[in-house]
Amino acid sequence: MSRLVVHVGPPTTATSDFQQALFANADVLAAHSVYLPTSARLELAPNSVCHHHLAWDLAGSPRFRPDIGGWDALEAEIADVEADTVLLSSELLSPGIFSEGIEHRLDERLAALGRDVTILYVVNEQLSLINSSYTQKVKTLTDVAGFAAYAAGVLRRSEGDLERLTGRWQRSTDLAFVAVPVTRLNSPNPLVALLRAAEVSVPEEDLVVGPESATISLGPVAVEAMRLLRVYLHGLNQTLSHDDIAVRRLHRIAARQAKDAGWCETPYWGWPPALAARAAEQFEPSNERFAQDVWQCPWPLPLPVDIPPAHVQLLQLEADELERVHEYIFTLAKRYTAIRSGKRNPGMASPEPV
């Protein structure tokens, strides 16, 4: 039976780099009997192989577009595909394992495709993962509290526990579970590392390097500026949602402008040392169990509890830097209004000095 490899992320583990590299190597992969379905691909990322509509279809999300297709379309598309491997990628599928009501539907959908299923999962230590997921929420203008409150909530709900995140896949007899330490993604790049881990045989020399990573990691000032932007936009529009098309367009522009402003040059690190130590205490035992069960070795990704926090309060900024933050907010707020009203080039004058 041919294989189905499902790369499920999770988010913030170089997923975009992998998906863009898949797109860039589609012909090479096809030549080596790896098929990348066109159904369910994210329409907003045309140069990427990213099957988010599968996750939205499962969850009944309003973002699912039947014209793009979900599981039914995928099943129909690959029914006659003779490739050795069908490869899917969507980091939004990873919560499917613990989301009530979805987990069994995901199992059923995978089984219905009639192939040997391999779940490909990238493992990162939880401090970095939670730090990244926080900045990702800020970057996408999601309603999120300050880092300490956010991280404390994640700890309280045990959301970073690998048993919760992967336990059912680990123990499944219906599929193979392949876990890749995030550190291995650089050897030599995420595409090669993940294909190798999934035992998808493609000569490395045939693969081209994907585009340079366009992912923007927010720095300390950028995090606060974008949090302020979100509050401001919400004040303008009480029904604001990070899922709105205008917000999704805006957050990309906002992240780029934050980078252009030089606010992303140093990485954000939100963990207060005491909270980091608490997190380590909470995660280390289950991490060890995971490593022994899955890799039969000690846990290879030590939790970086000693990284000093790298965040700012806006009030600590110099006056001219703070002024740039104000201009950033008001410029982007105008842009948001223009996007909502359908104008493409709103004329981005800064507010007049008063």
Partner 1 sequence: MTPRLVVHVGAAQTATTFIQHSLHDNEKVLSDLGVYMPEAGRFEFSAPTILHQNLAWEHLEPERFDAKAGGWDALVAEVEQSPAEVILLSSESLERMTHSTALRETFESQLKRISDDVTILYVVRDQLSYLNSLYNQNVKSLRSTQTFDEYIARISKTDQMNLEKRFRPWYSSSVFEFVAVPFENLVSGNVLYNFLTAARIDVSEDMLEKPRTVPTEPLGPVGVEAARLLGGYLRILDPGFDHRSYAALKLYRAAARKARENGWCNDSFWGWDQDLAQALAAREKDSNARFARSVWGPEGRLDLPMHKPQRTARLVDQSAETLSLVHRFVGTMSRRYLNLISGAGPARSRRPGKAEHDGTETDAAEDYEDDI
Q: Which residues of this chain interact with partner 1, rule CB under 8 A? A: 146, 224, 227-228, 231-232, 234-239, 313-315, 319, 322-323, 326, 330, 333-334, 337, 340, 351-352, 354
DSSP 71-102: HHHHHHHHTT---SEEEEE-GGGGGGGTSTTT
Question: Given the complex with partner 1, which of 168 and 326 has the nearer CB atom?
Answer: 326
Query: From CA 199, how far away is CA 201, in angstroms rounded?
Result: 6
Quickly count: other Cβ atoms within 10 Å of residue 80's Cβ. 6
CA distance 260 to 216: 11
Q: Output the smallest distance, CB 309 to partner 1, in A.
A: 15
Q: Which is nearer to partner 1, 149 or 214 (CB)?
A: 149
The SS3 call for residue 269 is strand
Nearer to partner 1, 239 or 296 (CB): 239
For residues 31 and 211, is the Cβ–Cβ distance under 8 A?
no
Nearer to partner 1, 297 or 315 (CB): 315
**CB 137 to partner 1: min, Å:** 15
The CB-side HSE value for 94 (13 A sphere, CA atoms) comes to 24
Rounded least distance, CB 14 to partner 1, Å:
31
Q: In DSSP terms, which residues pair with 313 in a beta bridge?
A: none
Nearest distance, CB of residue 241 and partner 1, angstroms:
13
Q: Which is nearer to partner 1, 153 or 235 (CB)?
A: 235
Give the shortest CB-235-to-partner 1 separation in angstroms: 3
Of 37 and 220, which CB lies nearer to partner 1 in the complex structure? 220
Shortest distance in whole angstroms from residue 269 CB to partner 1:
18
The beta strands (E) that lie in the chain are given as 3-7, 34-35, 85-89, 116-123, 175-181
